[in-house]
Structure 1
Amino acid sequence: MNDSLIRLDNITKTYRNGELATTVLHDVSLDIRQGEFVAIMGASGSGKSTLMHLLGCLDRPTQGEYLFRGRNIAHLSNDERASLRRETFGFIFQSYHLISSASATENVEVPAIYAGLPRAERHQRAEELLTGLGLGERLRNKPSQLSGGQQQRVSIARALMNDAQVILADEPTGALDSQSGKDVLALLKQLHQRGKTVIIITHDAEVASHAERLIEMRDGRIISDSGEQPSSLTQQAHPSSPPPAPRQTSILLADSAEAVRMALRALRANLFRTVLTLLGIVIGVASVVVMLAVGNGARQEVIDRISSLGTNLLLVRPGAPNTRRSVDGSTNTLMPLDAQLVGELDNVIAALPEMSGRVTLRSGNTDYQTEVTATSKDLPMARDWEVAKGVFINDEDNLRYAAVAVLGITVANNLYGPDANPLGEYVLINNVPFQVIGVMEAKGATPWGSDQDDVVFVPLNTGSLRLIGQRNLNSITIMIEDLNLSELTQEAVRQTIVQAHGGVEDFQIRNMASLLEDVAETQNTFTVLLGSIAAISLLVGGIGVMNIMLVNVTERTREIGIRVATGARTQHILQQFIVEAMVVSAIGGAIGVVGGLGFAAGLQALGTPIQFTPGPVMLAFGCAFATGLIFGYMPAHKAAHLDPVVALSAD
Structure 2
Amino acid sequence: MTALISLKDITKTYYNGDLAVEVLHGISLDIEAGEFVAIIGQSGSGKSTLMNILGCLDRPTTGDYLLDGEQVSAFEPDELAGLRRRTFGFVFQSYNLIPTASAQENVEVPAVYAGAHARDRRDRAEALLNSLKLGDRLDHRPNQLSGGQQQRVSIARALMNGGRIILADEPTGALDSQSGEEVMALLRSMNESGHTIIVITHSREVAEQADRLIELRDGRVVSDRTKKGRSNPEAASGLKQKAVEGVAALADVTEAVKMALRALHANLFRTILTLLGIVIGVGSVVAMLAIGTGAQNSVLDRISAMGSDLLVVRPSMANFRGTSGGSNVTLVPADADAILEVPNVAFAVPEMTSTVTLRYGNVDYQTTANGTVPQFTEAKSWKVAKGEFLNRDDMESYAPVAVIGRTVEKTLFPVGENPLGKYVLVSKIPFQIIGVMSEMGAGPGGNDQDDTILMPLTTGSMRIFGQRNVRSITVQVKDSAAIDTTQDALQALLDRRHKKQDTQITNMASIREAVTETSNTLKLFLGAVAAISLLVGGIGVMNIMLVSVSERTREIGVRMATGARQRDILLQFIIEAVVVSAIGGAIGVVAGLGTGILAKVLGAPVSFTIGPVALAFACSFLTGLVFGFLPARNASRLQPAVALSSE
User: 1:35 aligns to what?
Assistant: 34
Cα offsets for 1:607-626 (capped at 9, x unmatched): 22221221222122111111
Distance 2:254 2:211 in 1: 45
Cα offsets for 1:135-180 (capped at 9, x unmatched): 1111111111111111111111111100021111111112222222
Structure 1 gaps of 5+ residues are: none
Distance 2:201 2:600 in 1: 72
SS at match of 1:458: strand
Alpha carbons 2:116, 2:245 under 8 Å: kept: no
Equivalent in 410, 414, 424 of residue 413 of structure 1: 410
Equivalent in 587, 603, 621 of residue 625 of structure 1: 621
Cα offsets for 1:390-436 (capped at 9, x unmatched): 32222222223222222222223333334333333333333333333
User: 1:187 aligns to what?
Assistant: 186
After TM superposition, the structure 1 = structure 2 runs for residues 611-650 of structure 1, keeping only pairs within 5 Å, are: 611-650=607-646
Shift of 1:244: 12
Q: Is 1:234 paired with 2:229?
A: no
Shift of 1:384: 1.6
User: 2:484 aligns to what?
Assistant: 487
Cα offsets for 1:160-208 (capped at 9, x unmatched): 1000211111111122222222221121112111211111111222222
Distance 2:16 2:247 in 1: 36
**Residue 435 of structure 1 aligns to which amino acid in structure 2?**
Q
Q: Is 1:389 paired with 2:400?
A: no
Distance 1:174 1:440 in 2: 93
Structure 2 gaps of 5+ residues are: none
Distance 2:572 2:38 in 1: 36
Shift of 1:120: 0.7
User: 1:566 aligns to what?
Assistant: 562
Q: Is 1:535 paired with 2:535?
A: no
Alpha carbons 2:164, 2:239 under 8 Å: kept: no
**Residue 72 of structure 2 aligns to which amino acid in structure 1?**
I
Q: Is 1:357 paired with 2:354?
A: yes
Alpha carbons 2:196, 2:236 under 8 Å: kept: no
Alpha carbons 2:194, 2:237 under 8 Å: kept: no
After TM superposition, the structure 1 = structure 2 runs for residues 413-562 of structure 1, keeping only pairs within 5 Å, are: 413-502=410-499, 504-562=500-558
Shift of 1:116: 0.3
After TM superposition, the structure 1 = structure 2 runs for residues 125-144 of structure 1, keeping only pairs within 5 Å, are: 125-144=124-143
Identical counterparts, % of pairs: 58
Q: Is 1:369 paired with 2:370?
A: no
User: 1:68 aligns to what?
Assistant: 67
Shift of 1:240: 11
Q: Is 1:272 paired with 2:284?
A: no
Shift of 1:79: 0.4
CA pair 70-43 structure 1, distance change in 2 beyond 3 A: same
**Residue 133 of structure 2 aligns to which amino acid in structure 1?**
G
Alpha carbons 1:10, 1:64 under 8 Å: kept: yes
User: 1:49 aligns to what?
Assistant: 48
SS at match of 2:320: coil
Alpha carbons 1:363, 1:428 under 8 Å: kept: yes
Distance 1:240 1:6 in 2: 17
Distance 2:99 2:87 in 1: 25
SS at match of 1:22: strand
Alpha carbons 2:97, 2:154 under 8 Å: kept: yes
Cα offsets for 1:210-248 (capped at 9, x unmatched): 2221111111100111256743x6333345999899968
User: 1:152 aligns to what?
Assistant: 151
Alpha carbons 2:115, 2:246 under 8 Å: kept: no
CA pair 137-558 structure 1, distance change in 2 beyond 3 A: same
**Residue 563 of structure 2 aligns to which amino acid in structure 1?**
G
Equivalent in 310, 313, 325 of residue 320 of structure 2: 325
Distance 1:151 1:459 in 2: 96
After TM superposition, the structure 1 = structure 2 runs for residues 255-266 of structure 1, keeping only pairs within 5 Å, are: 255-266=252-263
SS at match of 1:74: coil
Per mean C-alpha deviation after superposition, the further-off stretch among 252-261 and 588-597 is: 588-597
Alpha carbons 1:319, 1:331 under 8 Å: kept: no
**Residue 557 of structure 2 aligns to which amino acid in structure 1?**
G
Alpha carbons 1:296, 1:527 under 8 Å: kept: yes
Distance 2:592 2:422 in 1: 53
Q: Is 1:308 paired with 2:305?
A: yes
Distance 2:232 2:443 in 1: 96
Q: Is 1:601 paired with 2:597?
A: yes
After TM superposition, the structure 1 = structure 2 runs for residues 276-291 of structure 1, keeping only pairs within 5 Å, are: 276-291=273-288
Per mean C-alpha deviation after superposition, the further-off stretch among 5-14 and 411-420 is: 411-420
Cα offsets for 1:97-137 (capped at 9, x unmatched): 11111111111111101000011100100010111111111
User: 2:587 aligns to what?
Assistant: 591
Distance 2:408 2:23 in 1: 100
Alpha carbons 1:387, 1:439 under 8 Å: kept: yes
User: 2:115 aligns to what?
Assistant: 116
Cα offsets for 1:233-283 (capped at 9, x unmatched): 633334599989996844x41311000001111111122222222222222
**Residue 407 of structure 1 aligns to which amino acid in structure 2?**
I
Shift of 1:367: 2.7
Shift of 1:638: 1.5
**Residue 24 of structure 1 aligns to which amino acid in structure 2?**
V
User: 1:200 aligns to what?
Assistant: 199
Alpha carbons 1:214, 1:225 under 8 Å: kept: yes
Distance 2:419 2:211 in 1: 116
CA pair 257-324 structure 1, distance change in 2 beyond 3 A: farther
Alpha carbons 1:83, 1:248 under 8 Å: kept: no
Alpha carbons 1:84, 1:246 under 8 Å: kept: no
**Residue 471 of structure 1 aligns to which amino acid in structure 2?**
R
Cα offsets for 1:304-336 (capped at 9, x unmatched): 22222222211111227xx57325894522222
Alpha carbons 1:100, 1:142 under 8 Å: kept: yes
Give the TM-score, by structure 2 length.
Answer: 0.95
Distance 1:452 1:70 in 2: 93
Per mean C-alpha deviation after superposition, the further-off stretch among 130-139 and 457-466 is: 457-466
SS at match of 2:359: strand
Alpha carbons 2:162, 2:244 under 8 Å: kept: no
Distance 1:445 1:481 in 2: 28
**Residue 180 of structure 1 aligns to which amino acid in structure 2?**
S
**Residue 9 of structure 1 aligns to which amino acid in structure 2?**
K
Distance 1:134 1:363 in 2: 98
User: 1:398 aligns to what?
Assistant: 395
Distance 1:206 1:389 in 2: 107
CA pair 108-247 structure 1, distance change in 2 beyond 3 A: closer
User: 2:23 aligns to what?
Assistant: 24
CA pair 113-646 structure 1, distance change in 2 beyond 3 A: same
**Residue 36 of structure 2 aligns to which amino acid in structure 1?**
F
Q: Please, what is the CA RMSD of the aligned residues? A: 2.2
SS at match of 1:571: helix
SS at match of 1:629: helix
Cα offsets for 1:284-309 (capped at 9, x unmatched): 22222211121111112111222222
Q: Across the two proteins, how many residue pairs are aligned to each other?
A: 645
Per mean C-alpha deviation after superposition, the further-off stretch among 515-524 and 106-115 is: 515-524
**Residue 628 of structure 1 aligns to which amino acid in structure 2?**
G
Distance 1:239 1:455 in 2: 101
SS at match of 2:576: helix
Give the TM-score, by structure 1 length.
Answer: 0.94
**Residue 584 of structure 2 aligns to which amino acid in structure 1?**
G
Equivalent in 328, 332, 335 of residue 335 of structure 1: 332
CA pair 314-225 structure 1, distance change in 2 beyond 3 A: same
Alpha carbons 2:162, 2:242 under 8 Å: kept: no
